[in-house]
Amino acid sequence: MAAYTLKVRRFQPETGEGPYWEEFDVDLDPSLSVLDGLLQARDRDDGSLSVRCSCRAAICGSCGMKINGQSGLGCKTQIGEAQEKADKFSHASSGEEEALPTGDGPAPIVVEPMGNQPVIKDLITDMESTHWAKIRRVTPWLLPHGDPPEREYVVEPESMIDITQSMACIQCGACVSSCLSMEVDPDFIGPAALAKAYRFVGDPRDAETKERLHDLAFDPHGIYDCTHCFSCIDACPKGVAPMDQIMRLRRRAIEEGVEGDPNNGANHVHAFTKMIEKKGTNDEALLIQETYAPGIKGKLKPTKSAIKGLVNSLPTVLRAIKTGKARSLPKLIPGVHPKLPDGAQDEVKAIYAHAEDHREEFNIYISGEEDVVPEPDETVEEEA
Amino acid sequence: MKLAYWPGCVSRGFTTELHGSMAIVAEQLGIELVELDRANCCGAGIIAEHNQELADTLNARTFALAQQTGLAMMNICSTCQGAQSECQQRLDADSAYRAHINEVLSGQGLSYEKGKDGFTNKNFLWLLVEDYGLDRLADLVKRPLTGLRVGPFYGCYVVRPKDRLGYDEYPDRDLYLEQVIEVLGGEVVEYDGARKCCGFPVITMNRDTSLRQAGTHIGDALDAGADCLVTPCPLCHLNLDMQQPEAAKIVNRDLGLAVLHLPQLVALALGAEPKELGMKRHIASTKWVEERIAPVAAA
């Protein structure tokens, strides 16, 4: 048994007051969970402390919350580990707080409701508008064509393994809570719903793959609105790695030839990939031009949004010329940027040539990592 | 200390002041850098959106070039670190996949071997704390940054995902910037955005999302009393510094906060002058920082 202090962000709408912090002292084994700590506080100190929970075993996905700022499940976070994190960052939060312990005692474990979601009461959030509506947005059911087969659908095992990772989702909303895109753009479809979308895009029984991808790419708040911050990967208690699923959706969209999206997402991927084949390193002027107006030498086909993007980036470029940041030809004229030296560019081109018919997608979630072989030297030393 | 050095693209593109500052700070620290000038772009996660195997092969080539030198590899870009670590994790996970990738490289006399000579690829921040050592760094400080209030800005790619980026072995990698700022004599400013996203990856795709992120973090740092930010990521620098006037329009407030590259901050404390560190090239003026730091003590 050990003593912990849980510092909980509370909100009781019936009082008419705003949210406030309250500390609860609890006493439990370090291997028990933060949720266990909260339930003890509710039993012993305040029956009104509200938290959603059911299975207490990381299966039902009810107890999503933020612990020391990290989104996850209360039942899957050991309170001893949460204390270590709190101590690690207590230095980091020393500027901000009104209720830090005096002296050198352990820092409180900070517990908050999930982010990016309206709070109903204490740790309970309203997941309807920010989670479930977005899940429904991606048409989360199978859309096969034609009559169903007389018996069952026959599917290659590999195809189903491919989507097991996205199927592992328990709809807890921790990824939504952690999403840094949604923090500034609440309209972003978000990590949970997009991971769910991949579950159907990757399913060979579904016949509307391209339509789904087109829909998600052409929504300005779709797959090209993810800022690639990895927050959802660390938040997910089930290893779904939603951001990886979003990147797979982008990859599939490119493969299926979904082009011309309003975010210039496909253009950017093509421009970047081609640029490295030509130059080996980033030719910034070429990247900007090709992203907004691909094929300027042949047929110039910038979209409306591309022209807007190009115009928007002009003041930034002008300022960079003024300070000397971009005051050289290779930084201003697309294509002047040098290639890699001494035949190195040809080596890169050879890799590209090979990649034309090689697109293996190696997924550690499915294959696992090879066991680390113990170093023989260590064993010898032990015996000696 | 001698290292195989991958400067990345942006330090030789829109942030040449970073490349120059790294050369200066390496000399101050007594680190010899062998630049991998034949190596290619890490792909920044974008080439993997096109073809994951292509991205893995391109980065395996860079690792193989580094391994040819027999030296540990260093980068100066959070994004390079993240993109390269992602590919390295896949390459290291499976010997058959590694052999498959190496087949392509073998035609060029190259091969990436897992763990060869204890191969590591670390960005300058990790290397400074873990291999160079903060004690050694402290001994070299000639101009303590006394009174300079510095907000750390990490860049997502060196913070997440934890299980890929060596946090099991080095759990405090997300506190190193604070540790370095303190060793240099500066004051750490805590604010909400230190480990959040600068927004750069979507600057061409959703400008509003991108600049709202940058503008919010800069504003939070200003509200917390920061004199400047420091970042180990040149792509973060592009959004936080180069795009700062545009970000100010999006969040509808005055900004104006200097953003230093990590090597610039270290070099300043080790006695370099702002002029030689290319700070004039920054978009957000660094004048306030230059005024606040003391002249180098004669002693």
- How does pLDDT run across A16-72, given as a tens digit for each residue? 999 999 999 999 999 999 999 999 999 999 999 999 999 999 999 999 999 999 999
Q: Which residue of chain A is at minimal alpha-carbon distance from B115?
A: A372
| Chain B residues touching residue A241 (CB < 8 angstroms) | 161
Is the minimum CB–CB distance between A353 and chain B shorter than 8 Å?
A: no
pLDDT of the residue at A334: 87
Place A90 in a pLDDT band, splitting at 50, 70 and 90: confident
| Chain B residues touching residue A276 (CB < 8 angstroms) | 40-41, 43, 47, 58
Contact A8, A38 (CB under 8 A): yes
> Would you give the end-to-end CA distance of chain A in angstroms?
40
- Probe site for chain A from B16, B18, B49 (most A CB atoms < 10 A): B49
Report in angstroms the alpha-carbon separations of B140 from A367, B29, B133, B148: 47, 8, 11, 18
Is the minimum CB–CB distance between A379 and chain B shorter than 8 Å?
A: no
Tell me which residue of A191, A199, A197 sits closest to A212, measured CA to CA: A197
| Chain pair A-B, CB pairs under 8 angstroms | 229
Is the minimum CB–CB distance between A198 and chain B shorter than 8 Å?
A: no
Place A384 in a pLDDT band, splitting at 50, 70 and 90: very low
Share of chain A above pLDDT 70, in %: 90
CA dist A166 and A162 (Å) reads 9
Q: Would you call B61 and A347 a contact, using CB atoms and an 8 Å cutoff?
A: yes
Tell me which residue of B159, B158, B182 sits closest to B265, measured CA to CA: B182
| Chain B residues touching residue A268 (CB < 8 angstroms) | 46, 204-205
A2-41 residues touching B, CB cutoff 8 A? none
B115: CB partners within 8 A, 6+ apart: B92
Give the Cβ contact number of residue A270 at 10 Å. Answer: 17
Place A306 in a pLDDT band, splitting at 50, 70 and 90: confident
pLDDT averaged over chain A?
90
Is the minimum CB–CB distance between A310 and chain B shorter than 8 Å?
A: no
Q: What is the pLDDT of residues A100-143, one digit of tens each?
A: 444 457 999 999 999 999 999 999 999 998 999 999 999 999 99
H-type helices in chain A, by residue range? 34-44, 79-90, 133-137, 157-167, 174-178, 180-184, 191-201, 209-218, 231-235, 242-255, 265-279, 284-292, 304-323, 329-332, 344-355, 364-367, 376-383
Q: Would you call B57 and A351 a contact, using CB atoms and an 8 Å cutoff?
A: yes
Q: Would you call B206 and A254 a contact, using CB atoms and an 8 Å cutoff?
A: no
Backbone angles phi, psi at A123, to 5 degrees: -95, 10
| Chain B residues touching residue A281 (CB < 8 angstroms) | 9, 12-13, 40-41
Backbone angles phi, psi at A326, to 5 degrees: -125, 45
Q: Would you call A269 and B50 a contact, using CB atoms and an 8 Å cutoff?
A: yes
Q: Which residue of chain B is at minimal alpha-carbon distance from A234?
A: B161
Is the minimum CB–CB distance between A273 and chain B shorter than 8 Å?
A: yes
| Chain A residues touching residue B12 (CB < 8 angstroms) | 281
Contact A211, A255 (CB under 8 A): no
Is the minimum CB–CB distance between A364 and chain B shorter than 8 Å?
A: yes
CA distance A147 to chain B (A): 34
pLDDT of the residue at A101: 46
Average pLDDT over residues A278-304: 77
Ordered DSSP codes for chain B: -EEEEE--SGGGTTTHHHHHHHHHHHHHHT-EEEE-TT-----TTHHHHH-HHHHHHHHHHHHHHHHHHTS-EEES-HHHHHHHHHHHHHHHH-HHHHHHHHHHHHTTT----TTGGG--EEEHHHHIIIII-HHHHHHT-SS--TT-EEEE---GGGTS-TTTTTTTT-TTGGGHHHHHHHHTT-EEPP-TTTTS--SGGGTTT-HHHHHHHHHHHHHHHHHTT-SEEEES-HHHHIIIIITHHHHHHHHTS----EEEEHHHHHHHHTT--GGGGTGGG-SS--HHHHHHSPPPP--
CA distance B218 to chain A (A): 14
Q: Would you call A319 and B283 a contact, using CB atoms and an 8 Å cutoff?
A: yes
Helix (H, G, I), strand (E, B) or coil at A41: helix
Residue-wise pLDDT tens for chain B (299 aa)? 999 999 999 999 999 999 999 999 999 999 999 999 999 999 999 999 999 999 999 999 999 999 999 999 999 999 999 999 999 999 999 999 999 999 999 999 999 999 999 999 999 999 999 999 999 999 999 999 999 999 999 999 999 999 999 999 999 999 999 999 999 999 999 999 999 999 999 999 999 999 999 999 999 999 999 999 999 999 999 999 999 999 999 999 999 999 999 999 999 999 999 999 999 999 999 999 999 998 876 54
Q: Would you call B97 and A360 a contact, using CB atoms and an 8 Å cutoff?
A: yes
A222 DSSP 8-state letter: S
Q: What is the pLDDT of residues A320-375, one digit of tens each?
A: 999 988 888 888 888 889 999 999 999 999 999 999 999 999 999 888 888 655 55
pLDDT of the residue at A377: 53
| Chain A residues touching residue B95 (CB < 8 angstroms) | 370
Average pLDDT over residues A179-199: 98
Q: Would you call B50 and A254 a contact, using CB atoms and an 8 Å cutoff?
A: yes
Q: Would you call A233 and B161 a contact, using CB atoms and an 8 Å cutoff?
A: yes
Helix (H, G, I), strand (E, B) or coil at A23: strand
Based on its alpha-carbon atoms, the radius of gyration of chain B, rounded to whole angstroms, reads 19
CA distance B238 to chain A (A): 10
pLDDT of the residue at A330: 84
Q: Would you call B196 and A229 a contact, using CB atoms and an 8 Å cutoff?
A: yes
Q: What is the pLDDT of residues A219-258, one digit of tens each?
A: 999 999 999 999 999 999 999 999 999 999 999 999 999 9
pLDDT of the residue at B274: 94
| Chain B residues touching residue A316 (CB < 8 angstroms) | 242-243, 245-246
CA distance B71 to chain A (A): 20
